[in-house]
A and B are shown apart, each in its own frame.
Chain A
Amino acid sequence: MKQLLLLSVLLLNGCALYDAYTMTKYDPNEYKLITEIRSDAQQAKTDCNDTDISRVNAVNLASKTHMFTLYSEHVPKNKDVIAASAELDAIAQGLANQYAKTTVSAVFCRIKFGNVETSADYMQKVIGARPR
C-alpha cells in the first residue's frame, strides 16, 4: 500500500505537486468580495431600462471590481485569480467608461452586467472551493 501511495505521488509532476500542495488557501474576504460583485451585477441587470440608475450602478460595480484586483494582487501564489480579476475589472470598467462618454443602450447594459455576473459566478465557485 505504501509503495502504491509513493508511486502515485512520484508520478505527479514535481512542480505541480509543490504548487498544488502550497496553493493559496480559502480567503473569506476574497470570497465575500467576489460574491458582492456577482450579486451587484445580478441586481444592476434588472435596472438597465433606467439610464441614471444604471450609470451609478456601473460606476459602483467598476469600483468594486477594481478593489478586487487590488486585494488579490499581493496575495502570494494567486496568479490565476490575479489574471481573472484583471479581466473582470476590464469588463466592468468598459461599461462605466461607456456611460461616461455616451448614451448606452439597455441591451448593451444587460449584456455587460450579465458578463460580469457570469464571470464572477465562475470565479466564486473556485475561490469558494479552495482548501481550508
Chain B
Amino acid sequence: MSVEQYQQQLQSAYNGSQDPDVQSTAQQANQYTELFKSGQISKDEYLQTMADLQRVAMIQRSIDNMQAMEYLNTAITGLITLAGLV
C-alpha cells in the first residue's frame, strides 16, 4: 500500500467513526504525515509523533477505566448512604 492509500484509510476512519478519539487520532496521523511529506519534520520526528499517538491512546484507555471506577464509586457510596437512611 502507498502512503496515499494509508492516508485514504485514515480519512475513512475519520469519516466512518462517531468516536471523537478515533477522529482526532486519524486527523493527527494525517497531519503528521503531511508535515513529514513537506519536510517540516524529520523521519525520526515523524516516527516519534506516530508512536505518541499510540501512547496517548493508551493514556486515554487508562483514563476511561479510572472514570468508570469513579462513577461506580459514586454510585456505591450513594447507595450505601441511601440504605442507611431507609
- CB-CB nearest in chain A for B49: A111
B62 contacts the other chain (CB 8 A): yes
- For A, the interface residue count at a CB cutoff of 8 angstroms equals 40
Min CB distance A53 to B, Å, is 19
**Bound complex: CA of A130 vs CA of B55, how far in Å?**
23
Binds A, one of B1-9, B10-18, B71-79: B71-79
Please judge, given known A-B contacts A90-B55, A126-B63, whether A108 and B41 are in contact too, CB under 8 Å: yes
Tell me whether chain B's interface is mostly helix, strand or loop, or mixed. helix
Please judge, given known A-B contacts A80-B66, A81-B62, whether A20 and B48 are in contact too, CB under 8 Å: no
- CB-CB nearest in chain A for B39: A105
Tell me whether chain A's interface is mostly helix, strand or loop, or mixed. helix
Bin the interface of chain B by size.
20 to 34
Of B44, B51, B74, most buried by chain A (CB within 10 Å of CB) is B44
Q: 3 tightest A-B contacts by CB?
A: A20-B72, A84-B62, A108-B45
16 contacts between A and B (CB under 8 A): A8-B79, A9-B76, A23-B69, A80-B65, A83-B62, A87-B62, A102-B42, A105-B42, A107-B40, A107-B41, A111-B52, A115-B56, A122-B63, A123-B59, A126-B70, A131-B77
Chain A residues packing against B (C-beta within 8 Å): 1-2, 5-6, 8-9, 12, 16-17, 19-21, 23, 80-81, 83-84, 87-88, 90-91, 94, 98, 102, 104-105, 107-108, 111-112, 115, 118-119, 122-123, 125-126, 129-131
